[in-house]
Structure 1
Amino acid sequence: MKLKICGMKYPDNILEVGSLLPDYMGFIFWEKSARYFDGVIPDLPKSIKKTGVFVNESTEVILAKAQKYDLQAIQLHGQESVEFCQDLKNKIDNSIETIKVFSVDNAFDFEVLKPFEAVCDYFLFDTKGKLPGGNGTTFDWKVLEKYPSSKPFFLSGGIGIEEMGAVNEISKTNLPIYAIDVNSKFEIEPGLKNIQLCTDAIYRISTHKQNKK
């Protein structure tokens, strides 16, 4: 599994988290978010994929942000259509990954995923809640037993240190979990990450990888 640390906001904190070498670092470009990013991203190690998070944004704005911040991944966290995702994929650089988010509860219909398989690189499953993301709660991962696709996905939604054991267990299944996405449970305040918790998460993931070998 790879690790995405999302909702970064403050330059010094970004550098501290960057020194831990997560695989992805997320910056939220949705103005209603408490973690809305409108600053300058300091220089980060090349191995970290800077990910822009957008909610029902226009293609033009996404392309402009991707160029301004040199994004390596784009996360679509709204009700973007298949046609929108296809249009965006046609216009962005081939090296930029696209991640389409779906909000999941016990009644989620996995059939809705099929038309999106060809227009994004990854899915991301988050907990269905009042906000597009950052609700701080997990969904029942047993629903993923119904996952009908081979498309790799990010697992998100209220994942904290306490959930890492369960994350490691679900990663032992045949589900194509590509990465976990953490945010609010690793924070001191919105946008400010707890470095010790982030260090602990990276250690647990790396230890799990070694144990699987």
Structure 2
Amino acid sequence: MNVKICGITTKQAAIQAVEAGADFIGFVFADSKRKLDREQAKEIASVIPASVKKVGVFVNEDAETIKEIADTVGLDYIQLHGDESPAFCQQFAYPVIKAFQIKTAEDLEKVNDYNCAYYLLDSPAGKYRGGNGEAFDWGLVKHLHPLEEKIILAGGLHADNVQQAIAEVKPVGVDVSSGVETDGAKDGNKMVAFIEKAKRER
């Protein structure tokens, strides 16, 4: 099971996530309490080994800015978390993770319009896109079995529910941000607990 720790904002948190066994580290470049600029992200990226993939999260950003940030930071993936069209997602030299907010089964049908490396299924937007700590109805994902090898599950995950989420959705990966934080900061112990549970065979 692949694990993405999103919303990393410090070198210490990045090192803790890597040591805990994270497969992907996410940097947020959109409006969020976890937002970074490209120089901050580049500095943090310097301590992340090549074996751990760096993901930049963008919301309705223009393509040139995305490309510039990806090049500066040395991103491995671009995650598009806004209203980006299928055509928009096709213009990058980087593999794309497209995020979808899931309220109903109809929301899942939009996934079929996109050709991306991964599809990240998240809970409906709160103040910001993603990172709201709320889960959606995992039962809806049963309609997506042909794509399950590309599904990353997000939204309201934490160490106590991630095994149930994996059993119900059968994703290729899980994404967590607020579920491994204490008082708004990444918690090394919570990252360890989450990754151990996510990667444990049931």
TM-score by length of 1: 0.85
Structure 1 residues 109, 12: closer, same or farther in 2, change over 3 A? closer
- Measured on the aligned residues, the alpha-carbon RMSD in Å equals 1.7
Match in the other structure for 2:173: 179
1:148, CA displacement in angstroms? 5.7
Match in the other structure for 1:2: 2
CA contact (8 A) 1:8 1:27 kept: yes
Hey, what's the Cα distance between the residues in 2 that align with 1:28 and 1:21? Answer: 20
Return 5+ residue gaps in structure 1 as ranges. none
Structure 1 residues 168, 115: closer, same or farther in 2, change over 3 A? closer
Hey, what's the Cα distance between the residues in 2 that align with 1:25 and 1:189? Answer: 20
Residue 198 of structure 2 is aligned with which of 188, 205, 209?
205
CA deviation map 1:119-157 (0-9, x unaligned): x11100000122211111000101111226425110000
Residue 72 of structure 1 is aligned with which of 66, 69, 76?
76
Note if 1:188 corresponds to 2:185.
Answer: no
- Identity level (%): 32
Match in the other structure for 1:142: 139
Which amino acid counterpart does residue 183 of structure 1 have in structure 2? S
Which amino acid counterpart does residue 83 of structure 2 have in structure 1? Q
Hey, what's the Cα distance between the residues in 2 that align with 1:138 and 1:186? Answer: 15
1:15, CA displacement in angstroms? 1.8
Match in the other structure for 1:47: 51
Q: Which structure has greater helix proportion? A: 2
Match in the other structure for 1:97: 95
1:17, CA displacement in angstroms? 1.9
Hey, what's the Cα distance between the residues in 1 that align with 2:34 and 2:144? Answer: 30
1:44, CA displacement in angstroms? 1.3
1:168, CA displacement in angstroms? 3.8
CA deviation map 1:42-96 (0-9, x unaligned): 32122110000000011111111111111011100000011111223xxx1xxx3
Q: Please, which moves more after superposition, 41-50 or 154-163?
A: 41-50
Give the number of equivalent residue pairs. Answer: 195
Hey, what's the Cα distance between the residues in 2 that align with 1:137 and 1:108? Answer: 19
Hey, what's the Cα distance between the residues in 1 that align with 2:107 and 2:9? Answer: 34
Match in the other structure for 2:153: 155
Match in the other structure for 1:19: 19
1:111, CA displacement in angstroms? 2.4
CA contact (8 A) 1:100 1:122 kept: yes
Hey, what's the Cα distance between the residues in 2 that align with 1:99 and 1:16? Answer: 24
Return 5+ residue gaps in structure 2 as ranges. none
Bigger radius of gyration: 1
1:24, CA displacement in angstroms? 0.2
1:107, CA displacement in angstroms? 4.9
Hey, what's the Cα distance between the residues in 1 that align with 2:68 and 2:55? Answer: 14
Note if 1:121 corresponds to 2:120.
Answer: no
1:186, CA displacement in angstroms? 0.7
